[in-house]
Amino acid sequence: MIALEGVSKIYPGLPRPAVDDLTLMVPGGRTCVLIGPSGCGKTTTMRMVNRLIEPTRGRIVVEGEDVTHADPVSLRRRIGYVIQQIGLFPHMTIAQNVATVPELLGWPSARVAARVDEMLSLVGLDPGGVRDRYPRHLSGGQRQRVGVARALAADPPVMLMDEPFGAVDPLVRTHLQDEFLSILKRLRKTVILVTHDIDEAIRMGDLVAILKDGRLVQCDAPDRLLAMPANAFVADFVGADRALKRLSLVMAGDACEPGTAPAGAPEIAATLSLRDALAILLGTSTEALRVTGPDGQAVGIVTLAGIRARAGEGAGRGLRAAG
Amino acid sequence: MVGPVFTWIAEHPKVFWTAAQQHLVLSAAALGLALALALPLAVVLLRWRRAAATAIALVNVLRTIPSLALLVVMLPILGTGFQPALVALTLYGLPAILINAYTALSEVDADIVEAATGQGLSRAQIVRRIQVPLALPVIFAGIRTAAVQIVSAATLAAFIGGGGLGELITAGMGTLDIPQLVVGGLAVAALAILTELAFGLAERRLNRTRHA
Ligand SMILES: Nc1ncnc2c1ncn2[C@@H]1O[C@H](COP(=O)(O)OP(=O)(O)OP(=O)(O)O)[C@@H](O)[C@H]1O
Ligand SMILES: [Mg+2]
C-alpha cells in the first residue's frame, strides 16, 4: 500500500509547485500508472516515495508506515527502484548487480547466490549464460530485465518504475510489458509506474493517474478513465480512439453471449480482446464470431451490436457534464 | 662519453648510490604525501561542489608555478634540507592527482549514482563501491603524471640542500667535472623514464583486469 496525502514539492524560483497538493492511494498488490505531459511532475512524485526528493508538504505512507521521517537509506532497501536509463553498475557482473540489495542487507552468500539465479530466471534470463557477464555485453531488453531483477531481489513489497520500457524498442516493449505485468501481479507487488505512453498505462495500470502542471486531474481504473474522462484535457489525452481502447481491455471470452454463430462464421480465441474481434468482423461480411475456449470448443458468440454496446457502455456522461 | 660515465660511477659508487637513494626516498615520500592529501580531499570536495570549484581554481594556480620557484620559496619558510624539499615536491605533485581524481569522481554517470542511491547505498558506499572503481583509470593516470613530475622536479632539491641526483649535477657544475655532471643528468632521465614505464605498465594491467 502506498498513500500520498496532500503532498507538494516546491522548488524556489519556479512559477508553480512541481507537485501540487497531490493525494493518491495505491492499494496493496495494485499498479498505479502516473502519466501526463512532460514536466507535469511524474518523476518528482515517484521519487518522493523513496525520498530521493524531500516533499515540501504532506505525508507519504508506505505499507502503513509514515516514511516522511524514516531513515532514507533503509527505506530505499525496502522499495524496488527501476529507472529508464536502467543504471546498471558497469563495473560489476550481472550477478553482482542483482545481488546489490541482498548484500547490503547482509544475507549469507549462499542465499544471495541462490536468489540471484532465481531472479534471473524469473525475468526470463538464463542464469548460467548471463551471471558472470557485464552489462555492456547485454542487449537493451536484457539489461532492462536485469534492472527489474535487481529491484526485486530483496523481495520489496513496493516497486517504483520510472519509464522502465523507455530504452527498449517497440517490439520488445509490448512483450516486456506483458511479462513484467504478470511477474508483478504474481508477486503481489504494489507498484507506481511512470510512463509517457497511454497504451502502456492502460495495459499495465489497475489505476491510471493523469497529472497536469503538478496536479492530479483524474485517477481511475483504465476502463472508467476511457468511459468517463473527467474533462476535455483527459479526453484529449487518452485519445479520440478511446472507445477502441476500451475494447482492448475486454477479453472475448468475458464478453460473449450465448448462442450459435451462423455456419462459416470466423472464430476467435476467448483470450483475445474485443478489439481483435472487431478487426476480424470488419474484415468479413458476418455479424457474429464464434468464441472458442482453450480446447477449441465453442463458448458463445460476440456480435457487432454487442461490441458497439460494450464500447459505449457508461460513456460520455462525465465528459459532457464537464463541457 | 659512455666510457667516462661508467668510469665515474665505478670510481664513486658510494656517492652515486647515496644520491640515487636520496632521490628515490624523497620522490616516494612526496608522492605518498600528495596521495594522502589529494585523494581524501577529492572525495570531500564531491560533497561541496561550490568549494570544489574554488579549490580546483587554486590548485590550477599552484600548477602554473615553476618547480624551481616552489622550491626556492620554501627557503625562507622552512630553511634548507630534506623537509622543505619534501613539502615543495608534495605541493608540486598534488594538482595532477587532485584534479584528475575530483573530475573523474564527479563525472561518474549521474544515472548510475541515482540508481545506487535508489537501491539504498549510503553516500560512503556509493563513493567506495561505485564512484572510485569507475573513476580508477583516470585517477591512476593522474598519479602517473604526478609521479613523473615529482621524480623530475626532485633534481632541483639539490638547490636547497635536499640531496638527490641533482647534487651530482650541481657538484659537477661547481668543479667543472663533466663526467659527474653527465652521470647526474642521465640518471635523472633514466629514473623519470623508468617511473613512466612502471606506472604505465601497472595502469595497463589495472585496466586489463577490470575489463576481462
Ligand atoms: N531539481 C529541480 N530543481 C528545479 N526544478 C525542478 C527540479 N526537478 C524538477 N523540476 C521541475 O519540476 C517539474 C516536474 O518535473 P518532473 O521531472 O517531475 O516531470 P516529469 O513529469 O517526470 O517530466 P518528464 O515526462 O519530462 O520526465 C518540471 O517543471 C521540472 O522542470
Ligand atoms: Mg520524468
pLDDT confidence of A323, banded at 50, 70, 90?
very low
Residue B149 clears pLDDT 80, i.e. is over it: yes
Express each pLDDT in B67-80 by its tens digit: 888 888 888 888 88
Q: Could you give the strand order of the β-sheet that contains A215-220, starting from the edge strand earlier in sequence?
A: A79-82, A158-162, A190-194, A31-35, A207-212, A215-220
Q: Which of A81, A89, A90 lies at the smallest CB-CB distance from B118?
A: A81
Distance of alpha carbon A76 from alpha carbon B133, whole angstroms: 23
Domain boundaries, chain B: 2-211
**Which range has the top average pLDDT, A95-99, A198-202, A268-272?**
A95-99
Give the CATH number of domain B2-211. Answer: 1.10.3720.10
Q: What angle do CA A237, A240, A246 make, to 5 degrees?
A: 90
* pLDDT number for residue A73: 95
**In the predicted model, what is the mean pLDDT of residues A19-45?**
97
Q: Is A120 in the pocket of ligand 1 (CB under 6 A)?
A: no
CATH topology of domain A245-312: CBS domain Like (3.90.1280)
Among A27-41, A59-73, A237-251, the range scoring the smallest mean pLDDT is A237-251
Nearest CA to ligand 1 atom 23: A39
**pTM of this structure:** 0.87
pLDDT confidence of B49, banded at 50, 70, 90?
confident
From the alpha carbon of A45, which atom of ligand 1 is closest? 18
CATH topology of domain A2-239: Rossmann fold (3.40.50)
**Which range has the top average pLDDT, A3-7, A198-202, A244-248?**
A3-7
DSSP A61-110: EETTEE-TTS-HHHHHTTEEEE-TT----TTS-HHHHHTHHHHHTT--HH
Residue with cell 583516470: B138
Tell me the average pLDDT of chain B: 92
Calculate how close chain A gets to B109, using CA atoms only, in Å. 9
Percent of residues, chain A, with pLDDT higher than 70: 97
Q: Is A18 in the pocket of ligand 1 (CB under 6 A)?
A: yes
**In the predicted model, what is the mean pLDDT of residues B4-31?**
93
Express each pLDDT in B100-120 by its tens digit: 999 999 999 999 999 999 999
Q: Give B 92-111 residues with CB within 8 A of chain A.
A: 109, 111
Express each pLDDT in B198-209 by its tens digit: 999 998 998 887
* pLDDT number for residue B6: 87
From the alpha carbon of A41, which atom of ligand 1 is closest? 18
DSSP A207-271: EEEEEETTEEEEEE-HHHHHHS-SSHHHHHHH-TTHHHHHHHTSBHHHH-BSS-PPTT--EEETT
Domain boundaries, chain A: 2-239, 245-312
* pLDDT number for residue A321: 38
Q: What chain B residue is nearest to A83 in terms of C-alpha separation? A: B115
* pLDDT number for residue B186: 94
**Which range has the top average pLDDT, A95-99, A175-179, B83-87?**
A95-99
Q: Which ligand is nearest to the CA of A162?
A: 2
Express each pLDDT in A130-166 by its tens digit: 999 999 999 989 999 999 999 999 999 999 999 998 8
C-alpha cell at A134: 557485464
State the distance from the centre of ligand 2 to the C-alpha of A166, rounded, in angstroms: 11
Strand partners, A292: A269, A298
pLDDT confidence of B210, banded at 50, 70, 90?
low
* pLDDT number for residue A322: 38
Sort A105 into a burial class: Cβ within 10 Å, 0-12 / 13-18 / 19+: middle
* pLDDT number for residue B164: 92
Percent of residues, chain A, with pLDDT higher than 90: 75
**In the predicted model, what is the mean pLDDT of residues B26-51?**
95
* pLDDT number for residue A314: 73
Residue A318 clears pLDDT 70, i.e. is over it: no
C-alpha cell at A144: 532492462
Express each pLDDT in A214-224 by its tens digit: 999 999 999 99
